[in-house]
Amino acid sequence: VSAVFLSPLLSALHVSAPGVDISVRQILPPRAVRTTDSVWDPVLPDIEARAMDIAVVPADNAVPARFVARALYEEDFVIAMRAGHPFSKNPTLNAYCQEQHLVVSLTGDAYGFVDDFLAEQGRKRRAALTVPNFMFALGVISETDLIAALPRSFLAMYSRYFGLVGVEPPLPLIRSRICAITSKAALMDAGVAWLFDLLERTARPSATG
């Protein structure tokens, strides 16, 4: 999600605090995602230990009282592919199951909530490739016939650079609230509190759907 909120944040920092340096750490769930419930909980100890100041993650559940979570935008997924891909003209569930899929997975495990849903329907798909992050996925699907489920806001920002299109999924995909999370203790640091507020202000207008 950093690709969505980082550009407006950096633009704001350039104007209001050009001397501030930002370090971004990639966070992906430690296992194949079947639900967003509690999957991001492992980041909370890192926040509490000040290994990171702020985490931006899907967080549909309430965080423990010693943390603060602020909703930035709602995110869902679309099916992305190169422009002119046959699936864009026939985005049915049958066609979806017949395509070769790219799956974004930190662990390389391609099985997730989509496969659970398909199994309930007596269907399955072929995950021909897994990659560790969404940016990697953009380049691959632009040069192949693979299709991939990507965040709607993310694809809207980068599709024109990679010649990609997105269609509505023919099956239910995860929709999540993207939140900035920090600890109440960290907010006692004026710099963290200021950055937390700035992130909230700049990220919200960047949401595209």
Q: Which residue has the higher pLDDT, 32 or 163?
A: 163
Are β-strands 100-104 and 126-131 bridged in parallel, bridged antiparallel, or unpaired?
parallel
- Exposure letters 10-28 (e unless 16+ CB within 10 A, then b): eeebeeeeeeeeeeeeebb
Tokens of 170: 């023919």
Q: What pLDDT, in 10s, does the model give residues 137-191?
A: 999 999 999 999 999 999 999 999 999 999 999 999 988 899 999 999 999 999 9
The correct CATH number of 2-75+175-206 out of 3.40.190.10, 1.10.10.10, 3.30.342.10, 3.40.50.300 is 3.40.190.10
107, two tokens: 């662990």
pLDDT value of residue 147: 98
Query: pLDDT band at 207, cuts 50/70/90?
Result: very low
Among the CATH numbers 3.10.20.810, 3.40.50.720, 3.40.190.10, 1.10.230.10, which is that of 77-167? 3.40.190.10
Average pLDDT of the chain is 89
Lowest mean pLDDT of 18-32, 66-80, 145-159, 193-207, name the range: 18-32
Q: What is the mean pLDDT of residues 192-198?
A: 96
How far out from the chain centre does Cα 73 lie? 11
Record the pTM.
0.81
CA of 4: how far to CAs of 7, 88, 208, in Å? 7, 24, 10
Which H helix or E strand runs over 27?
none
Strand partners, 79: 149, 167
Same fold, 2-75+175-206 and 77-167: yes
- In this predicted structure, what is the pLDDT of residue 206? 44
To the nearest whole percent, how much of the chain has pLDDT over 90? 71
- Where are the domains positioned within the chain? 2-75+175-206, 77-167
11-25, 32-46, 82-96: segment of lowest average pLDDT = 32-46
What is the pLDDT, as a whole number, of residue 209?
39
Q: Which of 60, 62, 97, 100 is nearest to 76 (CA)?
A: 60
